[in-house]
Amino acid sequence: MIKAKLLFLLILLSACQPVGQAPEQRWQHAVEGSYAANVSNDAKFSVVSSIHHGISLWDLEKNALKYSWSQQQNSADNLVLVADISDNNSHAFTANRHDFSLWNIENGQSEGFWSITESTIRDIAVSNNGDYLLIGQSNGKVVHITPYTGRRLEFLGHQEKINAVDMLPNGRIAISGSNDFVAYVWDTNSGQVIYRFNHPSRVTMVALDPKGRYAFTADSKKSANIWDLKTGQLITKLKYFNRQEVFSTVQFSPDGTKLLTGAPSRKVSLWAISTGERITSWRVMPRTDMRPAGAVVYSAAFRDNNQIITESSSGYAELWQVNKQ
């Protein structure tokens, strides 16, 4: 009887283990780990911030360093902590706590450096061609900037600090999530609220499908939702058994059937959008200089519908194979 119970327990534990633990390939992009990273939506490029290398732009198809940039990387206070690449791979956008820079991926040149003084930068997003920049701040403001004209629109709907922002590739629709338990989808031309999504706790992650089909919002407790961006209606809630799951990155699949998430716990998960069920999961390489060893998944993207690339705080990019369903 005891042996039968042990066997059942082993089967149960093995069923809970992530499928396909080992990546297909692994590339080191930062010695001693990184402080921020973003993989482009098509997984062709990644931008990585680290104390030894400054800002590095990598060609992921060749695993070749394309550019090295500097944004006052001479101290820990100036380290780039958030980054984004436009959907059409024209520009990279990087920021530390008070400064932000726009970089041209085609020629490697800087297209602007700016600073803010009234608060700190929490999250950023950039539109195609670098036409628009989105900045979520600790004072509850979200600022939409047109760098080539100097136009600034401040969205003042939130009451507490911003945790996450995102924007459609054309820059016209934004989403923001805050400690005030609310995520807003809003028009960046007028500042008008399109949808308000209420949560039972602070909203820690938001994302928009680049093709304009979905929005994602998640809070710090146990509510992670996929919404129809055209109607504002709830499509599904992610189903997980843990008391809570915190997400550090979110990406929708090109075919619109799957959601990809990364977490501060090294975990990368693939979900079915229609049901909210977890399809499979992996764990990225940990930082060995940390005790206990761990890693934050900064960014994850689909190379195609069957392959995924991640960048994490371990300083490694990893390629994962999705098992065909």
- Give the count of alpha carbons within 13 A of 316, CB side only: 18
Taking every pair of Cα atoms in the chain, the longest distance, rounded to a whole number of angstroms, is 75
In a domain, 225, yes or no: no
Higher pLDDT, 36 or 2: 36
Within 10 angstroms of residue 247's Cβ, the number of other Cβ atoms is: 22
**With 60 as the cut, is the pLDDT of residue 11 above it?**
no
Please compute the mean of the pLDDT values over residues 210-226 and round it to a whole number. 95
Structure tokens at 192: 């008008």
Any idea which residue has 């945790």 for tokens? 163
Task: Confirm whether 230 is domain-assigned.
Answer: no
CB 282 within 8 A of CB 320: yes
Which helix or strand (DSSP H or E) is residue 284 part of?
A: none
- 194 occurs within a structural domain: no
User: What is the count of structural domains for the chain?
Assistant: 1
pLDDT tens across 167-183, in order?
999 999 999 999 999 99
Spatial separation of the C-alpha atoms in residues 243 and 295, rounded to whole Å: 20
Please list the residues that pair with 265 across neighbouring strands. none
In a domain, 232, yes or no: no
Report the mean per-residue pLDDT for the chain.
90
Q: Look at residue 255 and tell me if it is in a domain.
A: yes
Domain contains 289: yes
Averaged pLDDT for residues 221-239: 96
23-44 residue pLDDT tens: 999 999 999 899 999 999 999 9
pLDDT digits (tens, 9 = 90+) for 72-113: 645 555 589 999 999 999 999 999 999 999 999 999 999 999
Reported residue count of the chain is: 325
Give the range of the structural domain holding residue 32, as residue numbers without chain letter. 22-67+244-325
Say yes or no to pLDDT of 6 above 90.
no
> Could you tell me if residue 203 is inside a domain?
no
More confident residue, 304 or 43: 43
Question: 226 near 273, Cβ under 8 Å?
Answer: yes
How many CB atoms lie under 10 A from the CB of residue 292?
A: 5
On whether residue 275 sits in a domain, the answer given is yes
